[in-house]
Every structure is written in structure tokens, then in C-alpha cells.
Amino acid sequence: MIWRKHRELSTREKFLLLLLLVVAGLSFVHRVVLRYQLPHYLQVKKELTAESARLAAVQEAALKLPLLKEELAQAEAEMSMAKARLGLTLRDKESFLAAAQPKNEGVRILLFRPLEAEKRGGFNVQPFQVSAEGVYPQVENYLQQLENLPALIQIRDLKLTAKPGSHGEVEASFILDFYELGEKVANEGKAVTLLPLGRSDIFLPPADFNKPSSHNFFSSSKPSSTPSPVVSSSGGTGEGTRLENKGKEDKDQSETLEYTFPARGHGRSRAGAPWLEGIRVLRNVGPFYYPADRAIAIGGRQFEHGIVVDLGKSRLKAEAVLDLQAGYLKLRGFIGVEDGTRNSSGSFILRIIGDERELFTSPPLKPGGYPQYVEINVTGVNRLTIQVEWKEAGPGDYSDLKAALADMFLSTT
């Protein structure tokens, strides 16, 4: 067959050639695009769709963030108001355990064992397995004491068993759930407001205290009036006799001197150590004293134990030094201005110093304020110094005030 130099393709040939190109293209698409590229494309598209959905969710959450912040602030405010309204000042285990000691000597704690901590909602819960025994009314009062503590607690699985051979004694076994509120109000050196909800004597150590001697430190340590000169037989002054009288006087003072805070008034007996008014006193400038004629009242709440010092523009500072002999771990109690001087124009600052090292400084405590709970670490301290300083606070009817350290005691736990 002889081809022409310039031969035109017939219509049939052009169709076949076009069909061949189409088949080759489809084969390429199938082998290269559909087999290898398409799966990758679909995977990338799927991931892109998922990322787009997540981005949209993040953008939506970002738009809601101001509203969520507002709701969080409102929830925190409501929680704080609830804590204040309920007086939930015991928010950590250490202060709770100190408050959970029985007030009544007739109640004996047989078991107070912590169980495994739990997480319930937004709270960390510390359960305690407790067993106590005593006569029924006293055990009932102890349960009421626990229920009235300023803490979020729950008593469950309560079992009362009569003790055989005893006269009305029962044994109470129960689980005590303590809800930690995430704030350590009993932190060392920090003060926390306790609202006056009618609760009293929350923090009490064991009742096995020795009664202190009735001698008065400052009244007994005052030197007696100077003795009259003794006239010798020769009509002059007997110098040797005066020296003898002075030596006898010093001897009498050393025999009667008591290193405790003085008591003012009558009617109430003073507790011994570890209550603050029963601790050995090495120095007392003020002086600090135990008000035996009244309970200490701060912000409408009364306290049976503690010491008071009178301050004012005529006496701006007072100081007491206690002899601890490194025998205690914590100083716990309440501070504030006594209600008897709630109309004063002054306030006071409390400083606690242990062996020349500052352990605690309070903010200015003003008249009419609620009692402030403090818990201070005094581990290893030999000489504990208590300093108070008067400060101007604002309008008032007078400048004098009574600075009070109420229900203060030193613990060994």
C-alpha cells in the first residue's frame, strides 16, 4: 500500500484515534489517580472536615467565654456567701481535728482513724472512722457538737450499742465525712473571720488540765512598802537592821512570786496550761491579765478563756514573753477588740515572735469586728513573745481599747 505524502485521515480513523486517547486517559486516571491519589485526598478531606468542626467548636466556646467567666464569678460569690452564712471556717483537716475533740470529759474516743480520701463532685472528702463511748446523754451531746462545728461534714452509718455490765454507757460507731473546701483558713500566720452564729468553744484541747496556783504574778511581785527605819539603842538609825529587813523582804518575794498572768476580778477560776492564761510568763509589760469577773466578748461571741490588755494613746504598746521550752507545736485561738470598748477610735496589731523570729503579724483589728481565728506554728520555740500595738482607726468616743486573745491554747499535735 502506497501512502500519500499528505494523506487526510478519514472520519473513521479520526474516531478510532480519539477513542484510543480516551481509553488511555481513563487508564491513567484509574491507575494513578483513583488507585493512589483519591484515597489520600479523601483522608485529607475527612481530617480537614474534622478539624473544621473542632475549630468551629473552639470558636463557639470562645464566644461563650465571657459568659462562662461571669457565671464562674457568680458561682464563686454564691459559694463564698454560703460559706459566710453557714460559718464554715474549718476548711482543712488539721483545724477540723482540733475542733472535733470532745468537750465533755465523760466522752472517751476509742478510735478516730482516717479512711481513704474520696472525690465527690467538686469536693475532696476525708472520711474518718470514729468510735466513742460514754453515758448516753454525753455521747448524744458529742454528736451534736460535731454537727454544730463550722465545717461541711456528714455523719453516716451511726450505730449505738449498749455496753454490757455498765450503768447507762453506750458505744457510738460512725463514719464522719469531712468536706475540704480547698481553702486553708487555719494556715500558719493567717487570720480568718468567724461569724457569730451562736457557736462557742469550738477549739478545745483535752480537759485534763492542772489548775494553776492562785498566786498573782504582778500583785505578788510588787515590792512591799519600804520598812520604817529601826532606831538603835543609841538613838540612831540601825543600818544593819535595815539591810536585814530588806533581805527578808526579797526572800519573801522570791518565795511567793508566780510566773503567770495576773487575774482581775473574781468569780471564775483560771485554767492551767496549755491554755494561754496558764502558761509560764517570763515578762509582762502592760500588763496582760486574765479577766476573772467576765467572759471575753468579741463581735457578739463569748469566750471562757484568754487574756486581755488595755491599750490607748497613753499606752501604745504592750508585750509578754512566755516560756514554752520547745514543748508545743501550734498556738490556736481568736483575737479581736473586746466588745466593752467597741466604740473606741483605736485598733491594734498583734505580732507573735518566736526566739527573735517573727511568726505572725495581724492586720489592724478594729472595734466591732468579728473574732479572727489564728493558728501559728511554734514548733521548737523556747521563748514566745506576744506584742500588741495601738493604732488610730477612725471616729470613736474614746481612744482606750481592750485587746483580747481569746480561747488561745498551745497544742502538741
Most confident of 164-168, 292-296, 384-388: 384-388
Residue 233 lies in a domain: no
The CA distance from 282 to 221, in Å, is: 12
Domain boundary among 34, 53, 86: 86
Query: pLDDT per residue over 153-163, tens digit each?
Result: 889 999 988 88
**According to the model, what pLDDT value does residue 74 have?**
78
CATH code for the domain in which residue 384 is found: 2.60.120.1060
Residue 268 lies in a domain: yes
Structural domain containing residue 147: 93-181
Query: pLDDT per residue over 115-148, tens digit each?
Result: 888 888 777 888 999 999 888 888 888 898 888 8
- How many structural domains does the chain have? 3
Residue 209 lies in a domain: no
Mean pLDDT score, 263-287? 88
CATH code for the domain in which residue 150 is found: 3.30.70.60
Rounded mean pLDDT of the chain? 78
Contact 378, 330 (CB under 8 A): yes
| pLDDT value at 193 more than 90 | no
**According to the model, what pLDDT value does residue 391 have?**
94
Residue 117 lies in a domain: yes
**According to the model, what pLDDT value does residue 208 have?**
40
- Tell me, yes or no, whether 31 and 121 share the same domain: no
Mean pLDDT score, 94-114? 82
- Tell me, yes or no, whether 18 and 129 share the same domain: no
| pLDDT value at 229 more than 50 | no
Whole-model pTM: value is 0.43
Bridging pattern class, strands 317-323 and 383-392: antiparallel
Cite the DSSP H helix spans in 230-301. Answer: 239-256
Domain boundary among 60, 86, 112: 86
Residue 201 lies in a domain: no
- Tell me, yes or no, whether 60 and 101 share the same domain: no
Strand partners, 264: 291
Confidence of residue 406 (pLDDT cuts 50, 70, 90): very high
- Tell me, yes or no, whether 74 and 143 share the same domain: no
Mean pLDDT score, 389-404? 93
Domain boundary among 44, 61, 86: 86
The CA distance from 45 to 43, in Å, is: 5
How many residues can be counted in the chain? 413
- Tell me, yes or no, whether 36 and 146 share the same domain: no
